[in-house]
């Protein structure tokens, strides 16, 4: 490097201050303290926080795992609506269904019956598809209240269990037992109707004298079709309606298309049909057909009733798209009034605008096809002779 007078700056100017000035121009003096965050960045951060909070507030779905379960999620879970002012609506649309509450209670059953209701071979019987779970509501409630011991057959002769299930009447309230029963009836392919708290209360009263755990033989003495008195006190073998009766939503559903029937229909749709046909009736592509504007929904009520009663078997073409699954019949699970209500609900929603259906249409169809044991095929449905129309 050049030194002395040969240095480049010396040649131009010997003034030291000027030399320093040129150096200082290049690098500004660093400031000693910190600069505040720019205002715009503060604004962006605040905006992001507000957005995140709002997003979470709208979409938290009660932090329920069900929100992301395609078979259980519903718009009602994702976008909870403020309760309607009418007292009746508020009672019918309680924030959590029994089955949702039951999910928590099932934690007490899960060690034995397993998270997916399969049980443990040879030790704990399955609840999925079990005839004890999906069959007589009275037997199921009896089992939960008092427990079960000794040999029991679940899902056919080869699956015999001989264990011991403790009674739950001491540790679970009527509501919790109703919730657990409703939950297991709605999971793992089970699609039996829920059991109300009032029914459990009635059963607790009726079986008050039963001290020991049930044996299978004793349970089988309860008739398969025995029902428990619900809120309205209908079909009440035991004296008097339960005190909790008024709390549960009543379900008259006898008139055609009234608000009650629609609400009842919606409830049953959301319990049974929703798993396959989805909350908005659109079905699932290539698996479950839509109920939107199809002739089977909007055509002859008798045919629609027949479909719900006996189910369908593929192949099926809807809107030019093929489906090939089985829809299970609901004749065992739903009463005529409930089927009429579901039909009325479907026919008045999802873009459909067909008229209401009265229960006697379903009663007549049930009678007419009483001997039929197989699901319908599409050719049969398309050749429908509707003498009621
Ligand atoms: C400690 C293990 C255990 C727990 C906990 C338990 N169970 Fe069971 N459960 C059994 C056994 C064992 C049987 C079969 C009893 C027999 O062999 O007589 C049974 C039978 C049943 C049955 C009738 C048979 C069937 O598979 O359908 C139902 C329904 C049932 N349990 C539901 C429940 C529910 C609901 C809960 C939770 C509230 C629960 N169980 C908790 C062990 C248990
Ligand atoms: C387990 C799934 C499942 C459930 C639950 C179910 N369906 Fe279906 N449904 C199907 C399938 C699958 C088909 C098409 C038949 C086929 O592929 O064989 C079908 C067909 C139909 C059809 C005729 C075709 C159409 O799209 O119009 C109607 C109507 C119908 N279902 C109504 C109902 C109603 C109402 C309920 C509730 C009571 C219900 N389904 C419950 C699976 C189901």
Alpha-carbon distance values, 167 to 48, 81, 104, 183 (Å): 53, 38, 18, 18
Q: What is the mean pLDDT of residues 6-11?
A: 60
Ligand lying closest to the C-alpha of residue 142: 1
Q: How far apart are CA 373 and CA 332, in angstroms?
A: 12
Q: What is the mean pLDDT of residues 366-371?
A: 91
> For residue 272, what is the DSSP state?
I
Q: Which of 72, 101, 270, 65 is nearest to 179 (CA)?
A: 101
Per-residue pLDDT for 388 more than 60? no
Q: What is the CA radius of gyration of the chain?
A: 33
Q: Which of 330, 69, 333, 284 is nearest to 188 (CA)?
A: 69
Residues with CB under 6 A from ligand 1: 108-109, 111-113, 124-127, 130, 132-133, 140, 143-144, 148-150, 152, 154, 161-165, 168, 180, 184
- The pLDDT-based confidence of 149 (bands split at 50, 70, 90) is confident
Please give the distance, rounded to the nearest whole angstrom, from the Cα atom of residue 9 to the centre of ligand 1.
96
Please give the distance, rounded to the nearest whole angstrom, from the Cα atom of residue 313 to the centre of ligand 1.
33
pLDDT, residue 203, reads 87
Q: Do domains 94-247 and 259-382 have the same CATH topology?
A: yes
pLDDT, residue 82, reads 56
Please give the distance, rounded to the nearest whole angstrom, from the Cα atom of residue 214 to the centre of ligand 1.
12
**Range with the lowest mean pLDDT among 26-40, 313-327, 344-358?**
26-40
Give residues with Cβ within 8 angstroms of 143, minimum separation 6.
Answer: 132, 165, 214, 219
Ligand 1 atom at shortest distance from the alpha carbon of 132: 27
**pLDDT per residue over 157-206, tens digit each?**
566 788 788 888 888 888 888 888 889 988 888 888 888 888 888 888 88
Percent of the chain with pLDDT strictly greater than 70: 78
Q: Whose CA is nearest to atom 36 of ligand 2?
A: 273
Of 273, 279, 337, the one to substitute when testing ligand 2's pocket (max ligand atoms within 8 A of C-beta) is: 273
Q: How far apart are CA 165 and CA 148, in angstroms?
A: 5
Per-residue pLDDT for 295 more than 70? yes
Pair 312, 376: CB distance under 8 Å: yes
pLDDT, residue 81, reads 58
- The two three-digit tokens of residue 104, written as one number: 């928590």
pLDDT, residue 250, reads 40
One-character DSSP codes across 12-66:
H---HHHHHHHHHHHSPPPPSSPPPPPHHHHHHHHHHHHHHHHHHHHH-GGG-GG
Q: Where are the domains of the chain?
A: 94-247, 259-382
Q: Which of 319, 332, 333, 312 is nearest to 375 (CA)?
A: 312
Mean pLDDT for the chain overall: 79
Per-residue pLDDT for 90 more than 70? no
- The pLDDT-based confidence of 241 (bands split at 50, 70, 90) is very low
Per-residue pLDDT for 240 more than 50? no
pLDDT, residue 237, reads 40
Ligand lying closest to the C-alpha of residue 377: 2
Ligand lying closest to the C-alpha of residue 273: 2
Of 30-44, 182-196, 254-268, 354-368, the range with the highest mean pLDDT is: 354-368
**More confident: 233 or 30:** 30
Q: Which CATH class is domain 259-382?
A: mainly alpha
- The pLDDT-based confidence of 303 (bands split at 50, 70, 90) is very high
One-character DSSP codes across 188-232:
TT--PPP--HHHHHHHHHHTTT--SPB-HHHHHTS-TT-----TT
pLDDT, residue 189, reads 82
- The pLDDT-based confidence of 89 (bands split at 50, 70, 90) is very low
pLDDT, residue 231, reads 64
Report the predicted TM-score, pTM, of the whole model to 2 decimal places.
0.41
Pair 357, 343: CB distance under 8 Å: yes
**Range with the lowest mean pLDDT among 111-120, 143-152, 241-250?**
241-250
Per-residue pLDDT for 249 more than 70? no
Q: How far apart are CA 77 and CA 60, in angstroms?
A: 9
pLDDT, residue 113, reads 83
- The pLDDT-based confidence of 152 (bands split at 50, 70, 90) is confident
In 15-159 the beta strands, taken as DSSP E runs, fall at: 148-153
**More confident: 31 or 287:** 287
The CB-side HSE value for 352 (13 A sphere, CA atoms) comes to: 24
Of 105, 114, 120, 125, the one to substitute when testing ligand 1's pocket (max ligand atoms within 8 A of C-beta) is: 125
**More confident: 245 or 66:** 66
Q: What is the mean pLDDT of residues 55-78?
A: 68
**Range with the lowest mean pLDDT among 73-87, 143-157, 257-271?**
73-87
Q: Whose CA is nearest to atom 41 of ligand 1?
A: 109
Domain 94-247, CATH among 1.10.240.10, 1.10.760.10, 3.30.460.20, 3.30.70.580: 1.10.760.10
Ligand 2 atom at shortest distance from the alpha carbon of 269: 37
């Amino acid at each position: 490097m050049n030194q002395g007078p040969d240095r480049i700056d010396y040649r131009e100017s010997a003034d030291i201050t000027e030399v320093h000035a040129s150096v200082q121009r290049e690098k500004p003096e660093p400031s000693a303290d910190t600069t505040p965050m720019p205002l715009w960045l503060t604004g962006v951060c605040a905006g992001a926080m507000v957005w995140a909070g709002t997003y979470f507030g709208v979409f938290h779905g009660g932090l329920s795992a069900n929100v992301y379960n395609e078979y259980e999620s519903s718009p009602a879970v994702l976008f909870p609506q403020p309760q309607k002012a009418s007292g009746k609506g508020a009672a019918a649309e309680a924030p959590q269904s029994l089955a949702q509450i039951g999910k928590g209670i099932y934690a007490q059953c899960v060690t034995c019956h397993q998270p997916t209701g399969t049980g443990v071979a040879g030790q704990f019987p399955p609840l999925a598809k079990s005839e004890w779970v999906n069959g007589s509501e009275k037997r199921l409630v009896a089992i939960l209240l008092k427990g079960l011991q000794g040999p029991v057959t679940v899902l056919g002769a080869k699956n015999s269990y001989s264990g011991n299930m403790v009674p739950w009447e001491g540790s679970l309230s009527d509501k919790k037992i109703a919730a657990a029963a409703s939950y297991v009836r709605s999971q793992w392919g089970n699609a039996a109707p829920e059991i109300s708290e009032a029914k459990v209360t009635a059963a607790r009263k009726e079986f008050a004298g039963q001290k020991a755990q049930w044996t299978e033989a004793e349970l089988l003495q309860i008739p398969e079709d025995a029902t428990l008195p619900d809120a309205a006190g209908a079909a009440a073998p035991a004296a008097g309606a339960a005190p909790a009766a008024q709390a549960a939503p009543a379900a008259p559903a006898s008139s055609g298309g009234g608000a009650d029937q629609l609400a009842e229909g919606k409830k049953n749709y959301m319990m049974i049909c929703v798993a396959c046909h989805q909350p908005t009736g659109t079905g699932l592509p290539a698996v479950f057909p839509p109920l939107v504007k199809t002739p089977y929904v909007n055509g002859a009520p008798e045919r629609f009733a027949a479909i719900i009663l006996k189910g369908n078997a593929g192949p099926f073409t809807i809107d030019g798209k093929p489906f090939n699954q089985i829809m299970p019949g609901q004749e065992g699970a739903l009463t005529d009034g409930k089927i009429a209500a579901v039909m009325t609900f479907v026919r008045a929603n999802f873009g459909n605008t067909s008229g209401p259906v009265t229960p006697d249409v379903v009663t007549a169809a049930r009678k007419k096809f009483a001997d039929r044991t197989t699901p319908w095929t599409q050719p049969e449905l398309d050749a429908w002779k509707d003498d009621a129309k």
